[in-house]
Copies of this chain bind each other. A is one copy, B any other.
Amino acid sequence: VARLDEATCRSRLAQARHGVLATVHDQRGTDAVPVVFAAFGTGFVVPVDTVKPKTSTRLGRAVNLEADARFCLLVDSWSEDWAELWWVRAHGTARAADPSELANAADALARRYPPYRTAGSIVAAILLDVQRWQGWAAR
């Protein structure tokens, strides 16, 4: 078993193109949803966007995080060859980006994801402060 050290965890998560954000839900226990993200400051930023179609920009993930700020962000690499498997997850607390932080947060996302280069595509952002790393690799 390879437990991945914090530097490897951080590097693999920062390079991943997408992940899964798990949050606490009072009734359902947890919600998990795919997210895109970018490294931002010492942590990560997840957008609230107008690009991927939604019924509302009042997202379940944001509602959940207002009630309980704890998150788990998972990145995993799947392969039918299980010797290639690995995953990394970050635990910590989340908060909404301040208006003064939003432009920089949106820039960090736009550098990684071309659809966010369109003005107005990001309307809010969730900042993830990582307090704990865990990582696993099959070899």
Chain A interface (Cβ < 8 Å from any Cβ of B): 1-3, 17-18, 20, 22-24, 28-34, 51-55, 68, 70-72, 74, 76, 78, 80, 82, 85, 87, 89, 91, 115, 132, 138-139
Q: How far is the CB of A1 from chain B (nearest CB, A)?
A: 4
Q: Is the interface of A mostly helix, strand, loop or mixed?
A: strand
Given A53-B138, A54-B1: A32 and B28 interface contact (C-beta under 8 Å): no
Chain B residues contacting A85 (CB-CB under 8 Å) are: 34, 52
**Contacts A23-B30, A30-B32, A53-B139 known; 19 new A-B pairs at CB < 8 A:** A1-B53, A1-B55, A17-B80, A18-B78, A20-B22, A20-B74, A22-B22, A24-B24, A28-B72, A28-B91, A28-B132, A29-B71, A29-B72, A30-B71, A34-B74, A34-B85, A34-B87, A51-B82, A52-B85
